[in-house]
């Protein structure tokens, strides 16, 4: 048997797999490759099906999980447990993402705003025009 050309041996140029795939001429006499081509589609489908977690399977643990963070997250996990089982862990995911955005974006923005408004602007470094006060007005 002659070896296939390099371009034909590349993974992205493999023949299509299926029940009765068309076998390229360079692979017709190779029993192993012939069998491999016939089994490729079911193998890929099984692989993709195995990648989906069932409701009873554990989620992969985060590499940043520490006991202190787990103590904070445990009540929220218990709170969202019924919804997570029904909606594939989406409610807890969205809650944790929202909490992360609030704690890393909005709270620091509020702190900077507070500091500028009450500590920098109050010393007169920033001038803000005030509305005119007329006699008899409020």
Q: Is 87 left (phi over 0), alpha (psi -120 to 50) or beta?
A: alpha
Mean pLDDT of 28-42: 77
Q: Are residues 72 and 107 in the same domain?
A: yes
Q: Are residues 77 and 105 in the same domain?
A: yes
In a domain, 138, yes or no: no
- Residue 34: domain span: 7-51
State the chain's maximal CA–CA distance in angstroms.
Answer: 105
In a domain, 29, yes or no: yes
Mean pLDDT of 113-135: 79
* Other C-beta atoms lying within 10 Å of the C-beta of residue 80: 19
Q: Nearest 5 degrees, angle CA 47-CA 83-CA 88?
A: 15
Q: Is 71 left (phi over 0), alpha (psi -120 to 50) or beta?
A: alpha
Q: Is 5 left (phi over 0), alpha (psi -120 to 50) or beta?
A: beta
In a domain, 57, yes or no: no
At 55-87, the pLDDT tens digits run 777 766 666 667 777 788 788 888 888 888 888
- Rounded Cα distance between 96 and 100, Å, is 6
pLDDT for the residue numbered 109: 97
Q: Are residues 37 and 82 in the same domain?
A: no
Counting residues of the chain whose pLDDT is more than 90, the rounded percentage is 12
């Amino acid at each position: 048997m002659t070896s296939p050309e390099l371009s034909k041996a590349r993974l992205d140029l493999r023949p299509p797999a299926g029940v009765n795939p068309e076998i390229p001429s360079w692979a017709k006499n190779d029993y192993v490759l012939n069998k491999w081509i016939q089994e490729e589609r079911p193998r890929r489908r099984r692989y993709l099906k195995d990648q989906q977690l069932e409701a009873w399977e554990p989620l992969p643990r985060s590499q940043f999980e520490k006991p202190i963070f787990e103590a904070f997250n445990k009540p929220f996990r218990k709170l969202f447990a019924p919804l997570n089982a029904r909606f594939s862990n989406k409610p807890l995911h969205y809650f944790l993402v929202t909490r992360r955005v609030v704690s890393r974006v909005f709270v620091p923005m509020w702190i900077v705003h507070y500091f500028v408004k009450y500590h920098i602007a109050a010393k007169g470094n920033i001038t803000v025009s005030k509305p005119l006060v007329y006699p008899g007005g409020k």
